[in-house]
Chain A
Amino acid sequence: MNNNMSLLNLSIAQILDFAAPILFAALGGVVSENAGVVNIALEGIMRFSAFFGVWGAFVSKNPWIGLLWGIGVGIILGALHGYISVKWAGDQIVSGVAINVMAMGIITYLLEFVFKTTGYSPPVPYFGSGANRIHIPFIAKIPILGAFSNLTVLVWFSLIGVFLIHFVLYHTVLGLRIRSVGENPHAAETLGVNVFKIKWLATISGSILAALGGVALSLGTLSSFTNAMPMGKGFIGLAAMIFGKWTPIGALFASLIFASAQIVQMLLQSSASGIAKQIPLGFYLSLPYFLTIGALIGVVGRAIPPAADGIPYKKEG
């Protein structure tokens, strides 16, 4: 009994660990797309920040410095995306493609330049090590709640981020402005909202969130950067954002579902019997994407993007 309970807690904790990068990416998408800026560069930004996080932690021997490096590179990329798509009204998707393509090349280059390798970076101090985790001993024995007794600080950030962003988007003036810019920038402009400023703010904060996702990937439960990162996590985040209907709470649930799909798949691979074991790995891995298409078709309720999502804004006249 006790054993089952700790297994349950462990699984939940694992799901939260898995979900954190996806959730950060999804939140980044939520923030930026609510202001009407599509960001398919999430994947590329995560790759950059995952690497810079490890680099920072490697140089300073301190994961917090790594986190700052990751956020820094997120700000730079957000500024690049904003410069192209907000300042010059360039195509947001083209800009995102550019960042994704560059991420492939630049990070492989830097990996070789900094660590003299093309595969794995050496291990660095990370948030998942015993000392850096957040221990809450007195809830450790309680079922479900016990899962929260030994999490990394990044998981906590991601969970707090959900509610913070929910509060900002739906209960503050700033949030109202962000959403109005995403729905109808011209009307917002008429009412005196500085559309460009809001779009810049949303693009950069969205990138910072995606960058946190990248750091969560390389410094969360792992302690090094591998050249395959982020293995499509940014695109799953994008899917989670859509599946969650462009809301932070929705993104949380979507990320948890996608993460559980992977955990369940891992559990089944090791211990399943009967039919479940015969379902090939590919089906589990592609499940989140089928779910997303299903969500869009309307099986799980129709997902509708902000009305002016992806349309470059130009002042009239």
Chain B
Amino acid sequence: MKEVFKRIFFPKREKLWWMNILVPITSIILALIVGAIFIKSTGRSPVLAYKLLFGSSGLFPGPYWKNHFAEMLLASSMFISTGLAFAVAAKGGLFSIGAEGQFLVGGIVAAYFGYAKPFANLPTAVHLTIIFIAVMIAGGLWGAIAGWLKAKRGIHEVITTIMLNWIAIYLIEDWLVIGPMKANVSTGVSGTPYISETAKLPKILPGTRLNISIIIIVVVAYLVWFLLYRTTLGFEIRAMGHTLIYGMEAPKAAGVPVEKRVVQTMFISGAIAALGGAFIILGILFQFPPVFEGGYGFDGIAVSLIGQNEPLGVFLAGMLIGGLRTGATSVQLAHIPKTFPSIIEGLIVAFIALQELVRYLLTKFLVHKKNVISGQNPGGSDKNSINVKLSDGGAAK
């Protein structure tokens, strides 16, 4: 059976491996260009807009960098969590749109365990541990519902996760927050009560709001990488993803309990997404507000797609989106609404969806041109190395 797996995996270690890095970068550049054309066509200055956007995004050093940097990491930790949630599922061949709902479930559970009386006087470390365990179990179960429906009933996870998102949104925002979990009216708080001091995430950079969420998410990202590439479970998950279009026959034949793995993968995915919900409640909002500005789950899809579903890629893409969101408020100085970054984000995803075209164009420009160049002028230093790899791959084939 090892042979079967090898045959499945090794073509993936393709000769044009650098393409996997180049495609997202090209997509980002193309998106920024199209975004600039869009700003220009509405009579505003794209140079000023991008200067403001990236100047205060925290991605590059500049005035007030410490603050922007902290805010960027704070926002990134949420995007990375939902991005990783999507990536884990995608590695297993599951297209989970459910991070939005799992994020909210994580948030509401964190809020509950944050303010509930029996836990209020525990030491911070213990209190936070309890909260995170509860959050991950709740989010995991919410995700596992979709996995179970997929495994047992064969219902496509895209549909169930969309439905579960809306169920979570309505049940939380139009029932729990205004009903059973409503704060006492006399306190003047709308939404749920505020969490106790011991449930707040400890800050790590004095003078900013930056808290340990970014450290937690770095560890989680590493664990996801370890799970996927260094454990049997991860190996089986990836095997499922690679053989998706063949009905996962190969892993089944190799004795992988595919149905069980589907549920487990969705559980892990849901648990990671829920972490993001806990971050925003325990680190930024300190309560579940009556009007929750969501969207982190949907952005997580974009983050993961930009990062090519690899933990490291997701981490970097999460920082990019987090940075764009942080810079968004100052874009308003250029008379551009702060939702502008989501145009860029959507455009990046559109170009990622168009990756067949992007790959085609890149191959045409780089590979063909290089053949011409290498014919005439074999001295090119940087491009030459790519060229060698290319011809190696070609020879192997």
| Residue tally, chain A, CB below 8 Å to B | 48
Min distance, Cβ A219 to any Cβ of chain B, angstroms: 23
B339 touches A104 (CB 8 A): yes
Min distance, Cβ A82 to any Cβ of chain B, angstroms: 12
A94–B90 Cα gap in the complex (Å)?
Answer: 12
Number of interchain pairs (Cβ within 8 Å):
143
Which of A93, A97, A235 has the most B CB atoms < 10 Å from its CB?
A97
A305 on the interface (CB 8 Å rule)?
yes
Which B residues are within 8 Å of any A CB, using their own CB? 38, 42, 95, 97, 149, 153, 155-156, 158-160, 162-164, 166-167, 170-176, 178-179, 295, 298-299, 301-302, 305, 336-337, 339-347, 349-350, 352-357
A283 touches B302 (CB 8 A): no
Which A residues are within 8 Å of any B CB, using their own CB? 38, 40, 80, 84-85, 88-91, 93-95, 97-106, 108-109, 111-113, 118, 232, 235, 238-239, 242, 280-283, 285-286, 289-290, 292-293, 296-298, 305, 310
A290 touches B167 (CB 8 A): yes
Interfacial chain A residues near B164, Cβ < 8 Å: 289, 293
Interfacial chain B residues near A94, Cβ < 8 Å: 305, 349, 352-353
A281 touches B174 (CB 8 A): yes
Pick from B174, B175, B344, B353: contact of A91, CB below 8 A.
B353
Which of A38, A93, A238, A289 has the most B CB atoms < 10 Å from its CB?
A289
B343 touches A297 (CB 8 A): no
Dominant secondary structure of chain A at its interface with chain B = helix
Interfacial chain A residues near B158, Cβ < 8 Å: 38, 40, 93
Contact (A97, B159) CB under 8 Å given A90-B354, A102-B346, A280-B179: no
Dominant secondary structure of chain B at its interface with chain A = helix
Pick from B163, B301, B302, B356: contact of A292, CB below 8 A.
B163
Interfacial chain B residues near A310, Cβ < 8 Å: 156
Min distance, Cβ B338 to any Cβ of chain A, angstroms: 8
A129–B174 Cα gap in the complex (Å)?
Answer: 32
Which of B160, B164, B350, B357 has the most A CB atoms < 10 Å from its CB?
B350
Min distance, Cβ A67 to any Cβ of chain B, angstroms: 24
B170 touches A285 (CB 8 A): yes
Identity of the chain A residue whose Cβ is nearest the Cβ of B359 in the assembled complex: A88
Interfacial chain A residues near B171, Cβ < 8 Å: 282-283, 286
Min distance, Cβ A279 to any Cβ of chain B, angstroms: 9
Contact (A104, B170) CB under 8 Å given A40-B158, A84-B350: no
Min distance, Cβ B75 to any Cβ of chain A, angstroms: 16
Which of B149, B299, B354 has the most A CB atoms < 10 Å from its CB?
B354
Identity of the chain B residue whose Cβ is nearest the Cβ of A293 in the assembled complex: B163
Pick from B156, B166, B295, B341: contact of A232, CB below 8 A.
B166
Min distance, Cβ A74 to any Cβ of chain B, angstroms: 17
A293 touches B149 (CB 8 A): yes
Min distance, Cβ A79 to any Cβ of chain B, angstroms: 13
